[in-house]
Homo-oligomer: A and B are copies of this chain.
Amino acid sequence: MTTPGAADEPMALAAERLRTAGMRVTAPRMAVLMAVSDSGGHLDADTLRERAQRIIGRLSLQATYNVLRALTDAGLVRSTQIAGHPTRYETERHDNHHHFVCRACGSIRDVECTVGAAPCIEPRLPEEYDIREAAVTFWGLCPGCRATASAS
């Protein structure tokens, strides 16, 4: 028992990640975290629920949403909302990458950033990708709210 089976490794890793993030370690959380991790990203809540169920058997959709929210708040998971699609989840890698979405098949692909910190508009994508448009949304605080926030 000193060397756990190979199948236990990812679960032990998931438990460790949860513990490090200061979260309670539960079967649903480990399962969802594992599902997000080895999916390659961009899965929606319902699909992640299915994958998680394969690992631990039963899991309600509501719990899946709860877990995803918790993991996102803890910075372990990144959620992305793309117009016309349900919210997708992927492992948070803090690499500030963006997304390419195919208008025809809906497939999603990561797009690396040329610059480090700031998001860049020159996408690092193979030439075969036919980019038609880019939607850029900046998030932050408007002058009014910034003043209110710094005052408190």
Q: Which residues of B contact A81 (CB under 8 A)?
A: 83-84
- Please report the C-alpha to C-alpha distance between residue A129 and residue B149 in the assembled complex, in whole angstroms: 13
- Please report the C-alpha to C-alpha distance between residue A126 and residue B141 in the assembled complex, in whole angstroms: 12
Q: Which residues of B contact A126 (CB under 8 A)?
A: 143
For residue A129, give the distance in angstroms from its CB to the closest CB of chain B: 6
- Please report the C-alpha to C-alpha distance between residue A145 and residue B137 in the assembled complex, in whole angstroms: 26
Are A146 and B134 closer than 8 Å at their CB atoms?
A: no
Kindly supply a per-residue 1/0 record for chain A positions 108-119, scoring 1 wherever the CB is within 8 Å of any chain B CB and 0 otherwise: 010100000011
- Please report the C-alpha to C-alpha distance between residue A36 and residue B29 in the assembled complex, in whole angstroms: 45
Contact-residue bracket for chain A: 35 or more
Q: Which residues of B contact A125 (CB under 8 A)?
A: 138
How many copies are assembled? 2
Kindly supply a per-residue 1/0 record for chain A positions 38-80, scoring 1 wherever the CB is within 8 Å of any chain B CB and 0 otherwise: 0000000000000000000000000000000000000000001
In the complex, chain A residues 120-152 whose Cβ is within 8 Å of any chain B Cβ: 120-121, 123, 125-126, 128-146, 148-149
Among B80, B118, B135, B141, which residue has its beta carbon within 8 angstroms of that of A130? B141
Whether A138 contacts B118 in the complex (CB less than 8 A), given A105-B144, A105-B145, A126-B143, comes out as no
Are A138 and B131 closer than 8 Å at their CB atoms?
A: yes
A contact residues vs B (CB 8 Å cutoff): 80-84, 98-105, 107, 109, 111, 118-121, 123, 125-126, 128-146, 148-149
